[in-house]
Amino acid sequence: MTLIKESLAIMEKETKLNLRFKFSFVVSSLTNPVLALIPFLLVYYGFFHFSGATSFAEVNQNNYVNFLVLGMLVNAFFYTGLYMFYSKFMNEKYWKTMEAIFLTPINYLSMVFGISASEIIRMIPTIIVFMAISALFIVPNPLVFLLVLVVLFLVFLISSGLD
pLDDT in tens, 57-83: 777 777 777 778 888 888 888 888 888
pLDDT surpasses 80 at 127: yes
- Residue 153, CA distances (Å) to 41, 66, 113, 147, 149 in order: 25, 19, 13, 10, 6
pLDDT value of residue 26: 80
Sign of the torsion angle spanned by Cα atoms 120, 122, 80, 139? positive
pLDDT value of residue 163: 64
Sequence-separated (6 or more) residues with CB below 8 Å from residue 56: 47
Q: What are the boundaries of each domain within the chain?
A: 2-162
**Mean of pLDDT values over 97-106:** 81
Sign of the torsion angle spanned by Cα atoms 134, 138, 144, 145? positive
Q: How confident is the model at residue 12 (pLDDT cuts 50, 70, 90)?
A: very high
